[in-house]
């Protein structure tokens, strides 16, 4: 079901034919690369935080400020800026987001104190909140419906690949050139992608100015503010919350859980790779499955099954068993993630694609952040069984609410 499909002005002068398709494909590849590099930057910092703390003589609370700043700052890009990607300013907004991402990495590498470390990470979060919806938009705009799922799956694979490889790259580069080296190298790579996008977006459909458009953006402020009152959108926001709630708990508590179960530091690091690999490999299949059988149905079912594995972590005491269960859960997450993004593409028309993906991603980011903030003290007070079991029940309840709210009003276009 599309939202007000006839009320949004359509671009009149977009390139068509093979030239437009080639531009879209090159742009999509570069956007995927940008997302993968930014995801690597997110993962890169985690194994280096202790060394950063020691090098800058920081208190422990500062680590939460540095890590959490990017998490919540991403909301500014996802909800406050991403809608501009649907208008005739899409190209300058996208390129500005990438410039900000490069500058933030350089700033973080050279930052001498806490406020600059935190501010640079927050700037990275804003940039990611712009580039992520831009890549998701490229998965759907000008793409046949049957091909969207596969594209979303590939994007999910690249994103998870960045998160998985980022920590390993960070440790290796820091060993060669110091703590700033990983972020400077990443900035150089992202700058090359930026140059490529300057070239490809000059001719790609969806990034050219439309001289016949009356508005700078096709989604007016009043329409954006009214989005959460529409039942299909509410269903998507609930689905996003269900998908990202486990992420928040795992980010805050996975290392603590395995440590309490007696796992070594090596095993904890290995668990991230083992959890990410199934998503890297299976996400394209998950996207095709969602396109074939309906994204809301596929993503909802996968999330419910994954929640069962999440609940088990609170009661299983053998670290290797937890890792084995995590790998199985990741297989279902590989289906749920692209399926959830495909659901957004079916509800929002192309001219609202980045707006929809921004709202969807923002709801997930806010839920993950809230789960991390509330989950940590709950773990200390009540233990892993209550936290992971309660998180699983909340995730299932959110999926059920999404299906209930979207019933009869969510249809494949």
The CATH number of whichever domain residue 64 belongs to comes to: 1.20.1250.20
What percent of the chain is modeled with pLDDT above 90?
25
Contact in structure between 125 and 73 (CB atoms under 8 Å): yes
Please state the rounded mean pLDDT for residues 1-25: 41
- Does 5 fall in a domain? no
Token look-up 């309840």 returns 397
Residues 200 and 305 in one domain: no
Token look-up 């972020």 returns 183
Residue where one domain finishes, among candidates 192, 218, 244: 218
Residues 28 and 86 in one domain: yes
pLDDT band, residue 64 (cuts 50/70/90):
low
pLDDT band, residue 6 (cuts 50/70/90):
very low
Residues 396 and 290 in one domain: yes
Residues 186 and 236 in one domain: no
Of the candidates 337, 340, 346, which has an alpha carbon nearest to the alpha carbon of residue 280? 337
Q: How far apart are CA 134 and CA 170, in angstroms?
A: 26
Please state the rounded mean pLDDT for residues 142-154: 76
| Position with higher pLDDT, 285 vs 242 | 242
Least confident of 139-148, 223-232, 344-353: 223-232
- Does 15 fall in a domain? yes
Give the structural domain span for 368.
226-413
Q: Output DSSP code: residue 219.
A: S
pLDDT band, residue 225 (cuts 50/70/90):
low
**Interior CA angle at 207 toward 149 and 362, to 5°?**
55
Residues 209 and 277 in one domain: no
Structure confidence at residue 17 (pLDDT): 41
| Position with higher pLDDT, 80 vs 278 | 278
Residue where one domain finishes, among candidates 161, 190, 218: 218
Whole-model pTM: value is 0.73
Residues 176 and 272 in one domain: no
Q: How far apart are CA 200 and CA 197, in angstroms?
A: 5
Q: What is the torsion angle, in degrees rounded to the nearest 10, for the CA atoms of residue 81, residue 159, residue 349 and residue 242? A: -90
- Does 413 fall in a domain? yes
Q: How far apart are CA 376 and CA 251, in angstroms?
A: 10
Is residue 38 pLDDT above 80, yes or no? yes
Token look-up 């499909």 returns 5
Is residue 265 pLDDT above 70, yes or no? no
């Amino acid at each position: 079901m599309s939202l007000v499909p006839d009320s949004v002005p359509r671009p009149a002068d977009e390139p068509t034919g093979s030239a437009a398709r080639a531009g879209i494909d090159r742009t999509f590849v570069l956007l995927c690369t940008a997302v993968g590099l930014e995801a690597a930057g997110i993962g890169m910092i985690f194994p280096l935080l202790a060394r950063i703390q020691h090098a800058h003589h920081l208190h422990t609370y500062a680590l939460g400020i540095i890590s959490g700043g990017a998490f919540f700052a991403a909301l500014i890009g996802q909800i406050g800026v991403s809608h501009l990607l649907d208008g005739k300013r899409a190209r300058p907004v996208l390129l500005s987001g990438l410039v900000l991402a490069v500058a933030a990495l350089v700033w973080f590498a050279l930052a001498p104190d806490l406020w600059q470390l935190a501010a640079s990470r927050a700037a990275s979060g804003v940039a990611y909140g712009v580039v992520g919806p831009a890549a998701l938009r490229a998965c759907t705009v000008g793409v046949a419906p049957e091909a969207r799922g596969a594209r979303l799956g590939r994007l999910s694979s690249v994103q998870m690949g960045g998160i998985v490889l980022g920590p390993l790259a960070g440790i290796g580069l820091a060993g060669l050139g110091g703590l700033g080296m990983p972020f400077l190298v990443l900035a150089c790579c992202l700058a090359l992608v930026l140059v490529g996008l300057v070239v490809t977006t000059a001719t790609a459909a969806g990034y050219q100015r439309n001289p016949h458009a009356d508005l700078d953006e096709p989604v007016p402020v009043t329409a954006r503010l009214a989005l959460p009152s529409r039942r299909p959108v509410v269903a998507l926001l609930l689905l996003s919350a269900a998908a990202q709630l486990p992420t928040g708990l795992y980010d805050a508590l996975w290392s603590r859980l395995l440590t309490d179960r007696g796992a070594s530091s090596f095993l904890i690091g290995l668990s991230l790779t083992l959890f990410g690999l199934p998503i890297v490999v299976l996400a394209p299949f998950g996207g095709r499955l969602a396109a074939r059988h309906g994204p809301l149905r596929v993503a909802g079912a996968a999330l419910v099954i994954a929640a069962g594995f999440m609940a088990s972590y609170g009661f299983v005491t053998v670290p290797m068993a937890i890792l084995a269960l995590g790998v199985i859960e990741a297989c279902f997450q590989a289906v749920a993630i692209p399926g959830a993004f495909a659901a957004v593409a079916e509800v929002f028309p192309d001219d609202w694609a980045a707006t929809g993906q921004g709202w969807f991603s923002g709801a997930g980011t806010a839920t993950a952040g809230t789960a991390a903030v509330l989950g940590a003290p709950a773990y200390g007070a009540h233990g892993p069984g209550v936290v992971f079991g309660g998180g699983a029940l909340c995730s299932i309840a959110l999926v059920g609410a999404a299906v209930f709210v979207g019933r009869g009003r969510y249809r494949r276009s």
